[in-house]
Amino acid sequence: MSEPGREVLAKLTPVLTKRWLSPDAWKLDVYERLDGYLALRKALAVHPDDLIQLVKDSGLRGRGGAGFPTGLKWGFIPQNDGKPHYLVVNADEGEPGTCKDLPLMTCDPHSLIEGVIIASYAIRASRAYIYIRGEAVHAARRLRQAVNDAYKAGYLGRNILGTGFDLDLAIHSGAGAYICGEETALLDSLEGRRGQPRLRPPFPATHGLYACPTVVNNVGTIASVPYIVLGGADWWKSMGTEKSSGPMIYSLSGRVNNPGQYECGLGITLNELIELAGGMRPGHRLRFWTPGGSSTPLLAAEHADVPLDFESVAAAGSILGTTATQIFSDQDCPVYCTYRWIEFYHHESCGKCTPCREGNFWMTRIYRRILSGQGSHEDLDTLLDVCDNILGRSFCGLGDGATSPVTSSLKFFKQDYLDYIEGRTAPRLSAKVLAGAH
Amino acid sequence: MSNNSVTTRPQVLVSIDGAPPKLDRLSPAAAALRDQLDKQTAEILARYPDGPRSALLPLLHLVQSVDGRVTPHGVEYCAAVLGLQKAQVAAVATFYTMYKRKPTGEYLVSVCTNTMCNVLGGQEVYDTLSALLGVGHDETTADGRITLEHAECLAACDYGPVLTVNYDFYDEVTPESAVDVVDRLRAGERPAPTRGARLCSLKEMAVQLAGFADERDGAVAGPGAGPATLRGNLLADRHGIAVPGFDPQTPIKVGEGRPPVTRVPAANKPASDGKPAGDSPLPQREHLKDAKGGDA
């Protein structure tokens, strides 16, 4: 295993992850020794509108996948409307491949809480919720402890730091539903309903939680705010690219020597990330990968030099998403991988929209048929046809995301499908899985 | 749903002011839940003063902490607390996978079989455990000890393949190491997870999911980051890489014509240099050294 070169090492930008090296940074006193709650004091000393402008100036874009400009989102909240405002943090991390928010909340929960307080002050919210994935129990333990400590220290509650600003924050555990990572489904779930997406407009900025103006932001987005408040917009923009500013936590998994979390400026390439991760595992050659979770179209080895920022990945035909790069090699089968993802989308489809609910169901059946050696050439046309009928025809992005691995794997790896259909590849699944439905 | 008289709309939402919910006319089993969960229910409701129905997910976790699943009388209790119909509560309870409708064991063993863990060996882990325990997905061993399930992505792909026991992590498992974990659980032991707190029962975990702190000594301090979490960081640290130009005193631009607000007391401490600090040394570095054969 070779050491990464100096030039590639210089692309590391430990900002949000930096405190993770301090094992006790989740404790309030340690956090305070590491610049903790310094940004809050600074933020509460300026007008909320100046904070919204600061975040706009920084170019911060949402870290949950869509990359929407954060300052713009905050600016959409109507002011002096007489309604309560809410900040809801989307901590329902579950996109396959993504594992950046859970370690952040586990290792450095106060940075998220400090970001919550600053963001709430900026949008004039006096109540905030962190909706955390139910299964993330250890991150929730640390967060609950951190919230309690922050209340005791006067960072939460009434008259925060004597400024007259009030904020209550509660940690809300979900109950196992990937769809609740979609912001409107999350809001329905937080209101005690089935997590099903809402038709937009109206958008959460005007009709969110309890039909009141609401900002829903990802963990990484909100945790970025204290650093922008401290270091300033220009410093933030010194990392990343012009249109995709700042550092980003890239989650590397799969066939590399050192999978893990690598925080780099937006715009690093997969080849560089693989170099940071000590190269591909012995005997493995890069074949396909996801730039940002399974809902982003697969890319092939030829795309390993695409800068991983919002614009460049879109130009290459995919989506930056959550920067969860799942790395697969020549020993992995793109048809089988896609099949497993479709089983996932089928399981997680909330059932509200027919194209997604039924389409994913039938695609699992077609994949089982192909993988058990009983597929036909017509199946490939049917898959594309089903995708055509899901994409853009469901309320939320889950359906769109489900089509990503299917259409992209058919685009780059059609031969792998044909090899199953024409009998050159041994069946991967036994015919048992076909019982019941064909 | 046999007797309509037990679901008359109670006067409930008063608990917003801290008054206990008045829940009469419950079936005996639901009344027992009420008597047991009264205080915690009021605490949960207090978190959602603007929308009491938001308490439903935590309340469903709470009734699971007593019954190990969402029972019909658990549904009845939640409905009574929130002034909902039982069908409305059941519709929510059946939507989420963490609400169990069949009796569960003391430990819920969840094996990730989503794509990444799957190709790294998660499917073999699941198949091995299923054969060993003689149960399939969402089934419980006859001794009531273990419920097995295959899970979708558990957000730990850098540690794949993973399994969780009552949602705490065992990283980079093999069929053999997974069998070891399960054998020890069956023998009454509680093997330490790789990341998370020491194990508790699934019912005890449901109390935490309802939003209550883990009061066990040292539980919150259980290992949070494994080697993979810190790899990028350690690489930067080892090579002395930091983002240049960070000045925490950088002023925030004040909008034109707006006088600066100066009402916050300054922190009585200087800004740190952001270097790692803390009460403990950095066990993770040693950890990584062990894991990667001197890489750190």
CB atoms within 10 A of CB A179: 26
Please, what is the average pLDDT of chain A?
96
Same domain, residue pair A93 and A193: yes
Return phi, psi of residue A294, to 5°.
Answer: -75, -15
- Nearest residue in chain B measured CA to CA from A96: B153
Same domain, residue pair A350 and A212: no
Domain boundary among A183, A203, A237: A237
From residue A102, alpha-carbon distances to A90, A91, A142, A249, B196 in Å are 11, 8, 11, 12, 12
The pLDDT tens digits of the residues spanning A255-287 come to 999 999 999 999 999 999 999 999 999 999 999
Q: How far apart are CA A28 and CA A109, in angstroms?
A: 9
Same domain, residue pair A278 and A170: no
pLDDT confidence of residue A92:
96
Angle at A400 between CA B163 and CA A435, to 5 degrees: 60
Average pLDDT over residues A94-100: 94
Same domain, residue pair A325 and A357: no
Asked if the model's pLDDT at residue B164 lies above 50, the reply is: yes
- Nearest residue in chain A measured CA to CA from B210: A173
The answer to whether B225 faces chain A, any CB pair under 8 Å, is yes
CB A220 within 8 A of CB A112: no
pLDDT confidence of residue B265:
62
Residue A115 domain-assigned?
Answer: yes
The answer to whether B19 faces chain A, any CB pair under 8 Å, is no
Distance of CA B35 to the CA centre of its chain: 26
pLDDT confidence of residue B296:
30
Residue A104 domain-assigned?
Answer: yes
The answer to whether B60 faces chain A, any CB pair under 8 Å, is yes
Same domain, residue pair A152 and A253: no
Asked if the model's pLDDT at residue A71 lies above 80, the reply is: yes
The pLDDT tens digits of the residues spanning A29-48 come to 999 999 999 999 999 999 99
**Would you place residue B136 in the very low, low, confident or very high pLDDT band (cuts 50, 70, 90)?**
very high
Locate CATH 3.40.30.10 in chain B. 107-203
The fold for domain B107-203 equals Glutaredoxin (3.40.30)
CB A140 within 8 A of CB A173: yes
Asked if the model's pLDDT at residue B213 lies above 90, the reply is: yes
pLDDT confidence of residue B1:
39
Residue A3 domain-assigned?
Answer: no
From residue A257, alpha-carbon distances to A143, A148, A327, B285 in Å are 31, 39, 11, 17
> What's the number of domains chain A is made of?
3
Residues of B in contact with A174 (CB under 8 A): 57, 96, 98
Domain boundary among A207, A237, A267: A237
The pLDDT tens digits of the residues spanning A209-252 come to 999 999 999 999 999 999 999 999 999 999 999 999 999 999 99
The answer to whether B265 faces chain A, any CB pair under 8 Å, is yes
Distance of CA B55 to the CA centre of its chain: 17
B157 and A328 in contact by Cβ < 8 A? no
CA B31 to chain A, closest CA, distance in angstroms equals 22
Q: What ipTM was assigned to the predicted interfaces of this complex?
A: 0.95
The token pair that represents A164 in the structure block:
């007259």
Contacts of B181 (CB under 8 A, 6+ apart): B109, B163, B165, B170, B173, B191
Same domain, residue pair A178 and A43: yes
Angle at B170 between CA A271 and CA A263, to 5 degrees: 30
pLDDT confidence of residue A435:
67
B255 and A43 in contact by Cβ < 8 A? no
Question: A377: part of which helix (H) or strand (E)?
Answer: helix A377-390
A145 and B98 in contact by Cβ < 8 A? no
Domain boundary among A329, A345, A360: A329
- Print the domain residue range for A87: 8-237
What is the β-pairing status of strands A247-254 and B168-170?
Answer: unpaired
**Would you place residue A147 in the very low, low, confident or very high pLDDT band (cuts 50, 70, 90)?**
very high
Q: Any idea what the CATH number is for the domain that residue A58 is in?
A: 3.40.50.11540
The token pair that represents A389 in the structure block:
């009928």
Average pLDDT over residues B212-230: 95
What is the three-class DSSP state of B205?
A: helix
What is the three-class DSSP state of A140?
A: helix
For B254, the closest of A41, A50, A340 (CB atoms) is A50
The pLDDT tens digits of the residues spanning B5-24 come to 444 444 444 444 444 445 77
Residue A2 domain-assigned?
Answer: no
Residue with tokens 């069908």: B87
pLDDT confidence of residue B24:
79
CB atoms within 10 A of CB A160: 20
Q: Percent of chain A, pLDDT > 90?
A: 97
Contacts of A307 (CB under 8 A, 6+ apart): A241, A267, A268, A269, A313
